[in-house]
Structure 1
Amino acid sequence: MSEGLREKHKRRTRRRIADVATGLFMERGFDRVTVAEVAEAAEVSVNTVYNYFPAKEDLVLPPDQASPRRLAEIVRERPPGQAAAQAVLDRLREEVERRDRSLGLTEGFGPFFAMMRGAPTLVARLEELGHRMNDELATVLAEETGAAPEDPLPRVVAAQISGYHSLIFGEIGRRVTAGERPGTIAKAVTELLDAIEEMLGAPMLGYAVREERPCSE
């Protein structure tokens, strides 16, 4: 179904607000810009900004892009025969190969990353996001493996997978801050993913393997 005029207008308005906000945050710093100033620069009302972005932090980390369900959804979508840990590493590898914007592997991301790291509320949002990703993943692993409530394995495996995920993002952030180019960062991160996979043992690769779906008659 094609996008309607109303939906197209909403998408463009949302994009304009986000772009204007990003420009102001990059120029003056996240904490030095108010939502009212974003609204004025984007030529919309303050209520309109909040309709699209309920919190100021959402202008930088919108929930639909910085989702706490990211790891859980990757695991839910994995093909039959694949373990949960392998699914997450494979997705990260795919995103690195295509220089996905969500990883920050684009030109000019360095100043944007510095702006985020300089805002305590954004740093807190990122930390909270990491904790929620871990919790959502642990819940999915428990459901898929039928683990008892007192079984610690889903939480242990979720913590391991979340740790790999955080390590990759941390490596990208460190290299972006150092001024490295996206291609150089992608190569280094790919090598890091290779090292992680080499260290994965049988317990991780054998945990929460998606069962083959029976063929329909």
Structure 2
Amino acid sequence: MEAGSDTAQLGLREAKKQETRQLISDHATRLFIERGFEETTIAEIAAAARVAKKTVTNYFARKEDLVLDHQDEFVAALARTVAARSPGESALASLRRAFEATVAAQDPVAGFAGPDFTRMIAGSPTLSACLRGLHDQREQALAEALADAVGGQRSDITIRTAAGLLGSVHRILFQRIQELTLAGNTNDEIAGAVAGEAARAFDLLEPALGDYAVA
């Protein structure tokens, strides 16, 4: 009985932590959109969420973490797709299939974040620089996954080039989704446009990478 009670208490504490984290993140996003990222302080976010300033920094080590709270998922996405590719499937084919699925789902991690959020990112030098860094980290993680896939070293020029090409296509398509969002298009309109553009972009890589890193 005591063990079950302890487990229940742990579950409640974890749920409370997640609730507090989400509360802080929601208030921070609202303030960033209203006032701008650079102009909003941690103290203002804490006051809006009715928590101590230290509580905010305990949950979010950096101010930009309040905005880009799915960054771990973003960085790991391409590498995980390659690692989980089906037998007979190349790295390119798996990434293409996965991207098509994210567009169909209008996944926020792929860039479907809505006009207010996208405008906030574009208008902040800090967040724009952070996003570029996340794209770089994602490419590095992809290079490691490709190295494992082909049994090579990440420093190998072929692996680095393949990761660069595949990472660049995803970076460009992410930016394209942002551009179309800022131009006033709906998510449905963006998904329709990007689906065709992505097909042409991935087609360009087929001659070089169509048979690369086949599972």
1:30 aligns with 2:37: yes
Question: What does residue 193 of structure 1 align with?
Answer: 198
TM-score by length of 1: 0.89
1:173 aligns with 2:190: no
- The alpha-carbon deviation at position 97 of structure 1 amounts to 0.7
Equivalent in 17, 20, 37 of residue 10 of structure 1 = 17
Question: What does residue 124 of structure 1 align with?
Answer: 129
- The alpha-carbon deviation at position 61 of structure 1 amounts to 0.5
Alignment of 1:12-161 (within 5 A): 12-64=19-71, 67-105=74-112, 109-148=114-153, 151-161=156-166
CA–CA separation in structure 1 for the residues paired with 2:154 and 2:189: 44
Decide whether aligned partners of structure 1 residues 172 and 64 sit closer, same or farther in structure 2, where only a CA change above 3 A counts.
closer
CA–CA separation in structure 1 for the residues paired with 2:74 and 2:28: 20
How many corresponding residue pairs? 208
Q: Which amino acid aligns with 1:76?
A: A
Q: Which amino acid aligns with 1:208?
A: A
Native 8 Å contact 2:112 2:178 kept in 1? no
Q: Any gaps of 5 or more consecutive residues in structure 1?
A: 211-217
CA–CA separation in structure 1 for the residues paired with 2:64 and 2:154: 34
Native 8 Å contact 2:27 2:48 kept in 1? yes
Q: Any gaps of 5 or more consecutive residues in structure 2?
A: 1-6
Ranges of 4+ aligned residues in structure 1 off by more than 6 Å: none
CA–CA separation in structure 2 for the residues paired with 1:149 and 1:191: 32
SS at match of 1:186: helix
Q: Deviations over 1:85-139 (max 9, x none)?
A: 2211211110111121223436xx1121111111111111111111111111112
Coordinate RMSD, CA, aligned: 2.0
Deviates more, 1:142-151 or 1:46-55: 142-151
TM-score by length of 2: 0.89
Q: Which amino acid aligns with 1:36?
A: A
Q: Which amino acid aligns with 2:58?
A: N
CA–CA separation in structure 2 for the residues paired with 1:131 and 1:157: 14
- The alpha-carbon deviation at position 184 of structure 1 amounts to 0.6
Write 1 or 2 for the structure with the bigger share of helix. Answer: 2
Indicate the percent of aligned positions where both proteins have the same amino acid. Answer: 36
Q: Which amino acid aligns with 1:100?
A: D
Native 8 Å contact 1:65 1:102 kept in 2? no
Decide whether aligned partners of structure 1 residues 147 and 200 sit closer, same or farther in structure 2, where only a CA change above 3 A counts.
same
